[in-house]
């Protein structure tokens, strides 16, 4: 039976001449796992917004076509009515967290379903157990890492057991073990009759389980030839960064790092093992409890502003890092940089008007435009499709060839090969 | 950290806080208000982790307040009395706020059968404050990462801090509404209270101790 049917769906944002989505047809039956792919800006999020009812209720625009759930049109339903039947995982999970304690958060969704008070503790415990969050049961939300939060919200959504699940990049912040685990869980859920729609860039992970793949086409898609040449660096290159005996907060002592010019380092480890913390220590945002950091052969300066002359940091969320009035200004009018990032068409636009993936590229450009010696990148692949990721990796490679050093964190195994990175396990 | 206050019924805490404020406003003797402030300070310091730096700043501010009062009123006792009364009025709020989780508060308000829009707006405000603080922190950090130390360059506050913050707040309002609805929250639909508010032993203890303290304060006052 067709649980969800999309017929001839089109959506045009207010004030835009071109529709963001055009003539989408898709039918999902129970037990299906549908994978939706497409380049950044091809309308994946728009599709999810149409399904959830966010567009046109919150994002102005015109929608045409039909979306029906069990042969009943849902276009007139608001988000909360749809949420009773369709479970949504949004891209930014922070906005789906409302309580301050892990166990309360799972109970929150169940309370909204008006389940009986006796059922809720059992369901909560089961969900915590299923997602390996039993230890974190009484933690506050603030204590969780990005990956753990992602896991928590997925647990919250799955606990509500709607017949259809729609997830926007559920694997984004998950380490390999958690990702494999979630994949297994989704497979089980689909055999139990849940229909699952996934928007995901990490095709290597999901393609094997998908029963259907739906590709959204971008109007102005570009293909870049990626060349795989090994950046030449030798033992004699100057040492740019040296960390010894570093520790912070409750984390175990971090492994010692030595980074030479032209080198690329990939930090790997499970969710919550301190990858972001280590980057923050190097950039000076956190002060180490013990240990020393040497930059360019000298001790790390005390003031962050001085550290940033040699260290650039691309944060997980690009929204905090864009300040200028136009895309061009962000990269200090470096038009070549924009071309390399395929943002030349947006040069005069306001940075806030870009899509999430474009913003991410722009923050990298903005950081590299300041010519740091080391570039730190947190979760390089999040929100990036293959094309966009290639552009970023190319730019980074050029940066290392010209004597820069790079430290990235990522859960995506392909980054290792493509950047020819040395892997450090935390 | 002293966990007792965390488990006390939020409605009881609200009631006692209001009582403390009322009593503090009607007190006239230094002894009575001192006892009240000492009790509140004990509660405050045992249930909230406060940084030494902040504590010193607050202590200095209060001393300045008393000194200024002594100078204008020409009576140090009266000045100290006003300072203590101010503390007695201000302290219940943070003690209540830091020892009550938003979920417990929502449950309490639901149990009182308050209109759902009030419960909802309170819940969102509660969640909003730490988010604003966190967002500002991240924006400040991002500025520092770009080599701009905002604390030393106030002329950049507008473009560096306020503009991105306003952008974040406006989009946050929408995002949170959407997030809330996708979690199935409907202000008009019936909702389970999974941990119903019941009167527990610690509530009785808290009430008795409060009444005792009020008794002592009243005795000193009369």
Tell me the three state secondary structure of residue A89: strand
Q: Is A198 helix (H, G, I), strand (E, B) or coil?
A: strand
CA distance B9 to chain A (A): 17
Q: Choose among A117, A315, A319: nearest Cβ to B168.
A: A319
Residue pair A69/A86 in contact (Cβ under 8 Å)? The answer is: yes
Is any Cβ of chain A less than 8 angstroms from the Cβ of B153?
no
Q: Verify whether the Cβ–Cβ distance A90 to B179 is below 8 Å.
A: yes
Q: Does B146 touch chain A (CB under 8 A)?
A: yes
Closest CA of chain A from B138, distance in Å? 7
CA separation, residue B11 to residues B14, B103, B111, B199 (Å): 5, 13, 10, 11
Angstrom CA distances, A44 to A49, A287, B118, stand at 9, 40, 36
B172 close contact with A: CB closer than 8 A: yes
Q: Which residue in chain A is spatially nearest to B142 when comparing CA positions?
A: A321
pLDDT bin (cut points 50, 70, 90) of residue B189 is: confident
Tell me the C-alpha distance between A124 and A131, whole Å.
11
- Cα distances from A10 to residues A13, A50, B10, in angstroms, run 10, 9, 49
Are A79 and B103 within 8 A, CB to CB? no
Angstrom distance (rounded) from CA A301 to CA B50 = 29
Please, what's the b/e burial string for A145-159 (b: 16 or more CB within 10 A of its CB; e: otherwise)?
Answer: bbbbbbbbbbbbbbb
Pairwise CA distance, residues A71 & B80, whole Å: 74
DSSP bridge partners of A21: A11
**H-only helix segments in B48-101:** 52-73, 76-90, 92-99
Average pLDDT, chain B: 85
Selection from B97, B109, B122 nearest residue B47 by Cα: B97
The CB density around residue B38, as the number of other CB atoms within 10 Å, is 12
Chain B residues with CB under 8 Å of A83 CB are 181-184
- Give yes or no for a contact between A99 and B102, defined as CB atoms under 8 angstroms apart: yes
Nearest to B196 among A88, A100, A117 (CB): A117
A236 touches chain B (CB under 8 A): no
pLDDT number for residue B197 = 74
A251 touches chain B (CB under 8 A): no
> What is the nearest CA distance from A151 to chain B, expressed in angstroms?
15
- pLDDT for A351 equals 87
Please give the Cα distance from B127 to A98 (Å, whole number).
Answer: 7
- Give the chain B residue whose CA is nearest to the CA of A351: B164
Measure the CA–CA gap between A355 and A339, rounded to whole angstroms. Answer: 17
Q: Which of A405, A359, A365 is nearest to A382 (CA)?
A: A359
Residue B142 pLDDT > 80, yes or no? yes
pLDDT in tens, B91-118: 998 888 888 877 788 778 878 888 877 8
pTM as predicted = 0.72
Chain B residues touching A121 at Cβ < 8 A? 194
- Chain A residues with CB under 8 Å of B179 CB are 90, 95-98
Give the pLDDT confidence score for residue A1 in this predicted structure.
Answer: 67
Task: Kindly identify which residue of chain B lies nearest to residue A331, measuring between CA atoms.
Answer: B146
**What integer pLDDT is reported at residue A235 of this predicted model?**
57
pLDDT at B42 over 50: yes
Give the residue from A276, A184, A195 showing the smallest Cα distance to A33: A195
Supply the pLDDT for residue B216: 92
Q: Spell out a b/e string for A343-374, using b for 16 or more CB atoms within 10 Å of the CB, else e.
A: beebbeeebeebbbbbbbbbbbbbbbbeebbb
> Are residues A79 and B159, on separate chains, in Cβ contact within 8 Å?
no
Are the Cβ atoms of A95 and B160 closer than 8 angstroms?
Answer: no
Residue A45 to residue A87: CA distance in whole angstroms: 15
* Cα–Cα distance, A89 to A167 (Å, whole number): 5
Nearest to A214 by CA among A88, A21, A38: A38
A341, A328 in Cβ contact below 8 A?
Answer: no
- Strands across the sheet with A2-13, in order? A21-29, A2-13, A61-69, A72-73
Of A101, A121, A309, nearest to B101 by CB-CB distance is A101
| Neighbour tally for A321: CB within 10 Å | 27
List of residues 6+ apart from A5 with CB closer than 8 A:
A26, A27, A28, A66, A67, A68, A71
Burial class (CB in 10 A: 0-12, 13-18, 19+), A277: buried
Is residue B169 less than 8 Å (CB to CB) from chain A?
no
Tokens linked to A396: 């980074």
Min distance A243 CA to chain B CA atoms (Å): 19
Contact A114 B135 (CB under 8 A): no
- Which residue has better confidence, B170 or A40? B170
Return per-residue pLDDT of chain A as tens, 426 residues.
678 999 999 998 877 778 888 888 999 999 899 999 887 667 888 899 999 998 888 888 899 999 999 989 999 998 888 988 999 998 888 888 888 789 888 988 898 888 888 889 999 999 999 888 888 888 888 788 888 888 899 999 999 888 999 998 888 888 888 888 889 989 998 999 899 999 887 788 888 888 888 888 764 444 444 444 444 555 567 888 988 888 887 788 888 888 888 889 998 887 778 888 899 999 988 888 888 899 888 888 888 888 888 999 998 888 888 888 889 988 888 888 899 988 888 888 888 888 878 888 999 999 999 889 999 998 887 777 778 888 899 999 999 988 899 999 887 777 788 888 888 888
How far from the centroid of its chain's Cα atoms is residue B210's Cα?
A: 19
- pLDDT band of residue B34 (cuts 50, 70, 90) is very high
CB pairs under 8 A between A and B: 138
Instruction: Test A304 with B176 for CB contact under 8 angstroms.
Output: no
Closest CA to A80 of A160, A170, A197: A160
The Cα angle at residue A172 between residues A170 and A175, in degrees rounded to 5: 105
């Amino acid at each position: 039976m067709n649980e969800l049917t999309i017929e001839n769906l089109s959506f045009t944002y207010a004030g835009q001449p071109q529709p963001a989505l055009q003539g989408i047809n898709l039918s999902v039956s129970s037990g299906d796992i549908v994978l939706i792919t497409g380049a950044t800006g091809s309308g994946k999020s728009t599709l999810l917004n149409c399904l959830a009812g966010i567009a046109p209720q919150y994002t102005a625009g015109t929608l045409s076509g039909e979306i029906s759930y069990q042969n009943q049109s849902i276009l007139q339903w608001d988000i909360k009515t749809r949420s009773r039947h369709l479970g949504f995982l949004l891209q930014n999970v922070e906005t789906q967290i409302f309580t301050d304690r892990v166990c309360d958060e799972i109970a929150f969704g169940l309370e909204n379903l008006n389940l009986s008070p006796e059922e809720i503790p059992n369901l909560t415990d089961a969900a915590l157990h299923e997602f390996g969050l039993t230890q974190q049961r009484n933690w506050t939300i603030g204590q969780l890492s990005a990956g753990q939060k992602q896991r928590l919200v997925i647990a919250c959504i799955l606990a509500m057991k709607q017949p259809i699940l729609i997830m926007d990049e559920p694997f984004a912040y998950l380490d390999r073990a958690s990702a494999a685990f979630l994949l297994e869980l989704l497979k089980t859920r689909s055999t139990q009759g849940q229909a699952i729609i996934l928007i995901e860039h990490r095709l290597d992970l999901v393609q094997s389980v998908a029963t259907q793949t739906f590709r959204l086409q971008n109007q102005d898609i570009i293909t870049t030839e990626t060349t795989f040449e090994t950046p030449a660096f030798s033992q004699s290159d100057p040492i740019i960064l040296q960390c010894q005996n570093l520790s912070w907060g409750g984390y175990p002592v971090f492994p010692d790092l030595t980074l030479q010019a032209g080198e690329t380092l990939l930090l790997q480890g499970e969710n919550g093992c301190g990858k972001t913390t280590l980057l923050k220590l190097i950039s000076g945002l956190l002060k180490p409890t013990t240990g020393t950091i040497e930059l360019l052969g000298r001790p790390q300066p005390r003031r962050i502003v001085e550290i940033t002359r040699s260290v650039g940091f691309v944060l997980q969320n690009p929204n905090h890092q864009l300040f200028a009035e136009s895309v061009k200004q962000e990269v200090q009018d470096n038009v070549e940089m924009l071309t390399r990032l395929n943002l030349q068409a947006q040069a005069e636009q306001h940075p806030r008007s870009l899509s999430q993936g474009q913003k991410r590229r722009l923050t990298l450009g903005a950081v590299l435009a300041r010519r740091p010696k080391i570039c730190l990148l947190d979760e390089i692949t999040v929100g990036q499709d293959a094309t966009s990721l290639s552009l970023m990796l190319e730019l980074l490679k050029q940066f290392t060839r010209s004597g820069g050093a790079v430290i990235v964190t990522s859960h995506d195994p392909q980054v290792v090969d493509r950047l020819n990175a040395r892997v450090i396990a935390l | 950290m002293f966990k007792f206050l965390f488990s006390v019924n939020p409605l009881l805490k609200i009631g006692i806080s209001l009582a403390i404020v009322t009593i503090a406003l009607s007190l006239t003797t230094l002894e009575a208000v001192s006892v009240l402030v000492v009790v509140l300070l004990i509660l405050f310091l045992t249930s909230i982790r406060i940084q030494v730096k902040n504590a010193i700043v607050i202590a200095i501010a209060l001393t300045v307040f008393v000194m200024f009062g002594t100078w204008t009123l020409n009576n140090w006792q009266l000045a100290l009395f006003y300072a203590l009364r101010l503390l007695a009025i201000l302290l219940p709020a943070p003690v209540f706020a830091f020892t009550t989780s938003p979920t417990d508060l929502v449950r309490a308000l639901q149990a009182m059968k308050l209109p759902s829009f009030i419960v909802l707006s309170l819940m969102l405000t509660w969640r909003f404050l730490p988010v604003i603080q966190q967002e500002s922190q991240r924006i400040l950090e991002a500025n520092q990462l770009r080599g701009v130390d905002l604390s030393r360059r106030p002329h950049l506050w507008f473009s560096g801090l306020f503009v991105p913050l306003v952008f974040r707040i406006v989009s946050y309002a929408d995002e949170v509404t959407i997030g809330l609805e996708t979690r199935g929250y409907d202000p008009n639909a019936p909702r389970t209270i999974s941990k119903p508010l019941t009167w527990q032993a610690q509530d009785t203890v808290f009430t008795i101790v409060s009444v005792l303290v009020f008794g002592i304060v009243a005795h000193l006052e009369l």
